[in-house]
Amino acid sequence: MSMTYFEWLAQVCRELGWNVMRAHDLLDDTRWSDLYERGATPQQAAAWARTEGLA
């Protein structure tokens, strides 16, 4: 079963140690939706965020 975009964002927030509700703030940021659409795992997205200095 695949995750919805919001579920995926919530998991990314968990991976980064952020409050899950922060996912609402990320919904409109196309950098995240692009990662989701390319099939990145939440762990991969969190690693990317750390590399980009977002976390």
List per-residue pLDDT tens for the chain, 55 residues long: 689 999 999 999 999 999 999 999 999 999 999 999 999 999 999 999 999 999 8
Return the DSSP state at 40. -
Predicted local confidence at residue 51, as pLDDT: 96
SS3 29: coil
Joined tokens for residue 23: 């996912």
The single-letter code of the amino acid at 26 is L
